[in-house]
Chains A and B, each alone.
Chain A
Amino acid sequence: MTDNSSSLLDRSRTVAGPGYNRWLVPPAALAIHLAIGQAYAFSVFNKPLGALISGDVDKPASDDWTPLQIGVTFSIAIVLLGLSAAVFGKWLERVGPRKAMLAASLCFGGGFLIGALGVHLHNLWLLYFGYGFVGGIGLGIGYISPVSTLIKWFPDRKGVATGMAIMGFGGGAMIGSPLANNLMNHFKASAPMGVAPTFIVMGLIYLVFMQFGVWTIRVPADDWKPAGYVPSTEHNDLITTANVSADNAIKTPQFWLLWVVLLCNVTAGIGVLETASPLIQETFSDSAMGPGKGVTAAAAAGFVGLLSLFNLLGRFFWSSASDKLGRKVAYAIYFGLGMVLYALIPTLGHNLQLTLFVAVACVIISMYGGGFATAPAYLSDLFGKYQVGAIHGRLLTAWSTAGVLGPLIVHYLSNSRKAQGLSGAAAYQTVFYTMAGLLVVGFIANIVVTAVNERYYEKGPVTIEPGAH
């Protein structure tokens, strides 16, 4: 890389000039999140990856990878997402969003390419290393890279801004899933199940698409503020004008309370997402609803699709609403209303109220998305803008934990009920009651959040790291 090209990546070269329209920044952020959101559609590869040897998804060969082995790939990616977001957060604040987005695009696109080699050679460890490890690092850096930039551009609408970007992560799965299916169909004659060439094409598409974000992202000048923006003079303990560094933030109880809040929100959401398809098919089966009236596999896939839509919409709607409601009130709604709705699901299933069941699940999943999208604005309110990206990165370790914990709880509870001979809504009853209980914990954790003690504040004015201006 030449001196000139490296300087193009410097934060100082990304500072917006006078007259820059801040509404150009969310599309740059969306370009990153729409790409890395593909991770949530990884399950589209599960069956094809499990039939690379046999060539028949219904009759895997003994040498084919098992669903568990394939599932580990996604788990590695989610764990690396949290870890890399935590580790690289401060680096991101120092070098700026452009360099971080470039790194994310190289890791995410490169992860696909290494994964393709793993698929081609039928080497599981190479798949883990490529898509899981390298790609997971791309996920983590990419997820946090636009967050603090957006908060600085939209101090008056932090929830709207971060909601727009994080909505993209939800939308990424909607693009990634049909794209992968179409590509695998196209390539299935030339490679086992068409997976390896699909990985290559998707890796290259995402690498190129993310460059739009890399080269259009801009940071505001230090003294910039929106035209006509006057910071509220109303005193609010939970919105600070001070700044807390990432290293100090993790010493505060507020950070760990929010960590518990995110952990409970994500774990409970996984309870719905993991069980959605079997739950609706088993609860509203032909034997329960009458011959030909039960929910089919195709309709269950439609239900999962509907949940994805509400997950996406909730990220924008709830995060934007939190600008008016306040973050604490918003989370109190997610958890307060959420615990009631989670507890209602088994009853609605038992009474065969399909429409209400679907509606309640959609509201639940919208608030799950809202919980994700509101977190950066909550952090910014409590800790200031100084290193909010790095603090957010550290908070995302809660997501990694939930990504492992959630499926374990769901499978353990539902399998033990099924082992007792229970089926339909009864098999999942304890899952939903447990998740409602988790939301009670999250509700309490949110309620006890107070202002950060002044001893954690940075003394004097904070400056952007070297190389900035």
Chain B
Amino acid sequence: MNPQSNSPTPPATTADTSSGGSVVLAWLVVGLPLAWGVSQTFIKALALFK
């Protein structure tokens, strides 16, 4: 999904050239710590089923 701005004048900001790669990278930055935390919790939860 790559929605476009309808702004008549581009806002005064840094150029945002957001490719699919940058989206993947951004999700990895937050996804990896979250995945680590979930895996640690899951391992702990396994004790309930032993």
* Chain A positions near chain B (C-beta within 8 angstroms): 12-24, 27-28, 30-31, 34, 168, 171-178, 209, 212, 216, 218, 220-227, 229, 295-296, 298-303, 305-306, 308-309, 312, 358, 469
- Residue among B4, B11, B34 making CB contact with A12, cutoff 8 Å: B11
Select from chain B the residue with minimum beta-carbon distance to A173.
B37
- Residue among A31, A220, A306 making CB contact with B29, cutoff 8 Å: A31
Q: CB distance B38 to A171 under 8 Å? A: yes
Select from chain A the residue with minimum beta-carbon distance to B15.
A17
Select from chain B the residue with minimum beta-carbon distance to A29.
B30
Label chain B's interface by main secondary structure.
Answer: helix
- Residue among A13, A18, A295 making CB contact with B10, cutoff 8 Å: A18
Q: CB distance A16 to B5 under 8 Å? A: yes
Bound-state CA distance A177–B29 (Å) is 19
Select from chain B the residue with minimum beta-carbon distance to A33.
B30
Q: CB distance B34 to A175 under 8 Å? A: yes
Known: A229-B3, A305-B41. 9 other contacts (CB 8 A): A16-B11, A19-B17, A19-B18, A20-B3, A21-B19, A174-B34, A175-B34, A221-B7, A301-B44
Q: CB distance B11 to A15 under 8 Å? A: yes
Q: CB distance B4 to A18 under 8 Å? A: yes
Q: CB distance B13 to A12 under 8 Å? A: yes
- Residue among A12, A21, A168, A224 making CB contact with B23, cutoff 8 Å: A21
Select from chain A the residue with minimum beta-carbon distance to B36.
A175
Q: CB distance A226 to B42 under 8 Å? A: no
Query: Could you say which residues of chain B place their CB within 8 Å of the CB of A34?
Result: 30, 33-34
Shortest Cβ distance from residue A14 to the other chain B in the assembled complex, whole angstroms: 7
Q: CB distance A224 to B5 under 8 Å? A: yes
Q: CB distance A21 to B40 under 8 Å? A: no
Q: CB distance A24 to B22 under 8 Å? A: yes
* Chain B positions near chain A (C-beta within 8 angstroms): 1-7, 10-20, 22-23, 26-27, 29-31, 33-34, 36-38, 40-42, 44-50
Query: Could you say which residues of chain A place their CB within 8 Å of the CB of B13?
Result: 12-17, 218
Q: CB distance B37 to A358 under 8 Å? A: no
Q: CB distance B37 to A171 under 8 Å? A: yes
Q: CB distance B3 to A224 under 8 Å? A: yes
Bound-state CA distance A20–B1 (Å) is 10
* Given known contacts A174-B40, A303-B48, A27 and B30 CB-to-CB distance under 8 angstroms: yes
Bound-state CA distance A302–B45 (Å) is 3
Select from chain A the residue with minimum beta-carbon distance to B11.
A15
| Tally of A-B Cβ pairs under 8 angstroms | 146
Query: Could you say which residues of chain A place their CB within 8 Å of the CB of B2?
Result: 19, 21, 227
Shortest Cβ distance from residue B5 to the other chain A in the assembled complex, whole angstroms: 5
- Residue among B11, B23, B29, B33 making CB contact with A17, cutoff 8 Å: B11
Q: Which 3 A-B pairs have the closest CB atoms?
A: A174-B37, A175-B37, A302-B48
Bound-state CA distance A312–B38 (Å) is 9
Query: Could you say which residues of chain A place their CB within 8 Å of the CB of B50?
Result: 299
Shortest Cβ distance from residue B9 to the other chain A in the assembled complex, whole angstroms: 9
- Residue among A19, A23, A27, A222 making CB contact with B4, cutoff 8 Å: A19
Bound-state CA distance A469–B7 (Å) is 11
Query: Could you say which residues of chain B place their CB within 8 Å of the CB of A17?
Result: 5, 10-11, 13-16
Select from chain A the residue with minimum beta-carbon distance to B10.
A17
* Given known contacts A17-B16, A306-B45, A221 and B27 CB-to-CB distance under 8 angstroms: no
Query: Could you say which residues of chain A place their CB within 8 Å of the CB of B23?
Result: 21, 23-24
Q: CB distance A20 to B6 under 8 Å? A: no
Query: Could you say which residues of chain B place their CB within 8 Å of the CB of A358?
Result: 48
Query: Could you say which residues of chain B place their CB within 8 Å of the CB of A19?
Result: 2, 4-5, 16-18
* Given known contacts A16-B16, A20-B18, A309-B42, A27 and B7 CB-to-CB distance under 8 angstroms: no
